[in-house]
């Protein structure tokens, strides 16, 4: 049973055929613009930019915000290193903040403690798709005159106090990797209510000029840019995926409910919780194993039983690429103990039961 599986089929193939017939397969074309309009509405924002992946969206967002060498950015520690990497790629220094022991999103108190005179902004992560404490994050950012950036890689369809993920900060970046709720295999998006930030990012994502689609004049290259465009083939797939998002999220929620029921009373694991003022999209399902359980041995055994699994994500401050960093004990503990089990919309009830049985066989009371 795979850890993740995309929910794609004939509607996506038909959308690809339409792009083939149009003759425009390249990036940043008409299919991308249609997807951007739809995705901005989903996220409750005024503007969206389709990108090659979430890492490029994070980097473009930081560049659009004016991040430069010498700056510090406070970053949620418990995250795939793409978050911290984007800060390094922009020339700044990530300063990692520990996370809450329930949601594993950035702890507001830890963010406050990490701010220094060199801090220019705060980059927080919606862990497994569930947003963190954005009212508190915003209050901290405003108090210190900082920008707020949401790494919403896993969060399409999530919400915080009825506000959709993507609308909770000055900028937000999304991923459409194959394990995400909606996917084109790869891809990303940057969203914001700030038209200038998105237009700045749009110029940078096409070698420093306006994209060819809709351009009326010969461009002048007056600054260094990049090629971070999403192809129109991928955009067409993602537009269909937006139509299917409600059913995909409903299926994932059902799997999460069955898991919670199946692991009830099992002392060796703690199931993830959906906080009462949020909607969790369940991009991943992370079990927190009891301290005495060897997580890596359990992973090997589950894989031998045909159940794919992996770690939760990374305690960034422990990764050598970032050099010496202050400790983040909650994140470090989660890095050692989290176990990600299969979570996707294609899981059948029988498969969920098999996963539960396999985990129970490895994690004894």
Q: Which positions are annotated as active-site residues?
A: 180
**CA proximity to 90, closest of 67, 64, 56, 61:** 67
Q: Which residues of 91-116 are buried (b: 16+ CB within 10 A; e: fewer)?
A: ebbbbbbbbbeebbbbbbebbbebbe
Tokens for 12, please give them: 């996506």
Q: What angle do CA 324, 330, 331 make, to 5 degrees?
A: 55
Residue with tokens 């409903």: 250
Sign of CA dihedral 95, 101, 107, 113: negative
**Strand (E) or helix (H) holding 48:** strand 47-51
In three-state secondary structure terms, 172 is strand
**CA proximity to 212, closest of 19, 6, 33:** 33
**Segment 211-216 long-range contacts (CB within 8 Å, at least 24 positions apart):** 211/27, 211/28, 211/29, 212/26, 212/28, 213/24, 213/28, 213/29, 213/30, 213/32, 213/33, 214/33
d(CA 68, CA 45): 26
């Amino acid at each position: 049973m795979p850890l993740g599986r995309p929910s794609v089929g004939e509607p996506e193939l038909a959308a690809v055929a339409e792009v083939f017939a149009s003759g425009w397969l390249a990036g940043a074309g008409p299919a991308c613009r249609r997807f951007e309009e739809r995705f901005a509405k989903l996220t409750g924002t005024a503007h969206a930019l389709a990108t090659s992946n979430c890492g490029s969206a994070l980097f473009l967002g930081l560049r659009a915000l004016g991040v430069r060498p010498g700056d510090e950015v406070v970053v949620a520690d418990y995250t795939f290193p793409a978050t911290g990497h984007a800060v390094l790629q922009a020339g700044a220094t990530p300063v990692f903040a520990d996370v809450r022991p329930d949601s594993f999103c950035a702890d507001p108190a830890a963010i406050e403690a990490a701010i220094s005179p060199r801090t220019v902004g705060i980059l927080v992560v919606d862990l497994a798709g569930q947003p963190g404490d954005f009212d508190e994050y915003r209050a901290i950012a405003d108090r210190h005159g900082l920008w707020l950036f949401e790494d919403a890689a896993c969060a399409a369809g999530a919400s915080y106090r009825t506000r959709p993920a993507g609308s909770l900060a000055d900028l937000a970046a999304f991923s459409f990797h194959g394990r995400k709720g909606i996917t084109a295999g790869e891809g990303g998006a940057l969203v914001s209510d700030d038209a200038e930030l998105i237009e700045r990012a749009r110029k940078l994502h096409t070698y420093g000029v306006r994209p060819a689609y809709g351009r009326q004049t010969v461009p002048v290259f007056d600054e260094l840019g990049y090629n971070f465009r999403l192809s129109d083939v991928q955009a067409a797939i993602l537009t269909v995926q937006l139509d299917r998002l409600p059913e995909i999220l409903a299926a994932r929620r059902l799997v999460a409910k069955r898991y919670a029921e199946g692991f009830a009373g099992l002392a060796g694991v703690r199931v993830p919780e959906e906080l009462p003022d949020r909607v969790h999209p369940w991009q991943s399902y992370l079990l927190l194993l009891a301290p005495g359980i060897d997580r890596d041995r359990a992973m090997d055994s589950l894989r031998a039983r045909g159940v794919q699994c992996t770690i939760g994500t990374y305690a960034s401050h422990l990764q050598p690429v970032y050099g010496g960093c202050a400790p983040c004990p909650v994140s470090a503990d989660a890095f050692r103990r989290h176990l990600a089990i299969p979570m996707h919309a294609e899981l059948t009830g029988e498969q969920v039961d098999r996963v539960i049985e396999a985990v129970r066989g490895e994690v004894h009371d």
